[in-house]
């Protein structure tokens, strides 16, 4: 849980509010109307506290999201025809 919390804080786990909402949808939980990721954090970790150890390990095994590339940046690059290096 500490690792997931650290990744949430540095935005490599569910980096945007929309990602948190999708996480709740995928887990069959109602996503409240949060105004920020910070406000959603307590609810998120209550859901994670109910998760099995294997689910938590699966989440930790997922590739961390690069915090330097926002979805808005990707969209603007696509519109402007700029190429970004492929992240692995």
Rounded distance, CA 62 to CA 46, Å? Answer: 20
Residue 77 binned pLDDT confidence (cut-offs 50, 70, 90): low
Residue 24 within a domain? yes
Rounded distance, CA 68 to CA 73, Å? Answer: 9
Residue 53 within a domain? yes
Domain housing 22: 2-80
Judge whether residue 1 has pLDDT over 70: yes
Total tally of structural domains belonging to the chain: 1
* pTM for the full predicted model: 0.68
Residue 10 within a domain? yes
Residue 73 within a domain? yes
Residue 26 within a domain? yes
Judge whether residue 70 has pLDDT over 80: no
């Amino acid at each position: 849980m500490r690792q997931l919390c650290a990744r949430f804080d540095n935005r490599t786990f569910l980096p945007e509010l929309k990602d948190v909402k999708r996480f709740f949808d995928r887990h069959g939980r109602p996503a409240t109307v949060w105004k920020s990721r910070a406000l959603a954090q307590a609810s998120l970790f209550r859901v994670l506290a109910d998760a099995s150890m294997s689910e938590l390990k699966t989440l930790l095994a997922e590739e961390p999201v690069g915090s330097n590339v926002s979805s808005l940046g990707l969209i603007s690059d696509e519109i402007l025809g700029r190429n970004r290096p492929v992240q692995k």
